[in-house]
Structure 1
Amino acid sequence: MTSPLTRNEQNSKSRAQTFGIRPDLFQAAQDHMVKKSDLDELSENLANAGVRGFTAATLPQNIHLGSPDSGTADYAILPFTDRYGPAVAAHPEPPSLQIEESGLWTVTLNLGTAGHGLAPAGSGFFEVSIYVGPEQPAGGPVRQYDFFNWRVELDHQQSFATTFTVDFVVESPGDFIYVQVSGMRGRAIEGDYTRTRLSVRKTDNRTR
């Protein structure tokens, strides 16, 4: 009759499979060890944790507000027609940008303006509105989920350049982003990608 193995003999016999580590300690380490599958999943999550969508467009030319024979305020929907950079989960749909996926998005408007020869002496208002809505603009603002508005007073020849940034949630893919500017005659929106550009960036898939 064969005698059962002693505790030391069991450990000795098993250590050939546990790289010389005591079997009970090796098993405890195994239970708490990070597995390759865990690292692969973490790596994928980190890769997706940054920008999830992006698109941008610029103006093809300068946009002038007003006309020489009118002193009243004028407005324009800025025609962002020239794609700038990659398009992921959104794309230019002139004069707008169109969102293809739901989630949290950030709109950034880089805007450059300058007074020109038609500007009357004195100062006047200049207004910027960013619209988010399910329809394309057709000659003016249309039904929208929300809009964001800024108004400043500018001297007739004063240049003005700034960046507007807004976060919003898209629950239904297909929304359009567009920009309306309004003000007194004599103000030009500079059609240069270094001065005027509209972009969107997706940062999260969650909508609630």
Structure 2
Amino acid sequence: MTRMTRTGPVPQVPPEPLGRRERKKAATRKALADTALRLFLEKGFDQVKVAEIAEAADTALTTLFAHFPGGKEALVLEDGGEREAALTAAVRERPEGLGILDALRDFLAGRGTFDPDPTPEFRLKTDLVVATPALRAYARAMWTGCEEVLAQVIAEEAGRDPADLSLRILARYVLEIPDLAGLEADPRQALDTAFAHLRRGWPEL
């Protein structure tokens, strides 16, 4: 199978099967994350200690921090590396004819409060983040921490200087949208409004 992008067809290569060690690590991470979410929903994020999560998951505290060095917040929200990779792919692998801003809008439209058809677990997690100041702050930091990478890939795709201040400003604006628009009564409408303003400032993208 292939997928068409602006640079031509991209072969869809099946992922390599995980080895035994990788499967065990993935299972441990999932068990910890699932246990943490259950406890956070039952007791409230601020009322749950990291040690309590490790004990409930029958895992050593050192193991928990080995998998989630960011602590409690990281148990709910994926790391910045995942976001950077996803943002980069959204721009570089966008379909032929799709602008950079449209690609970023489509990417955000499937995440967090913008997702129109979330699974029940995803909805619970999203509601928890929105209702918890510490998680909201962590999520915002994860997004804005991708500013340099996003500005770089936009510059590459647009044939512009990576040091161009206007592209760094654009990257910052895009990455603030989940925190700003995500709290509106109609997040998807707010998302479209935000990108409508960005297209006026950067019509060439």
Give the TM-score, by structure 2 length: 0.24
Flag the structure with higher strand content.
1
Flag the structure with higher helix content.
2
Larger RCO (alpha carbons 8 Å, 6+ apart): 1
**Structure with max Cα Rg:** 1
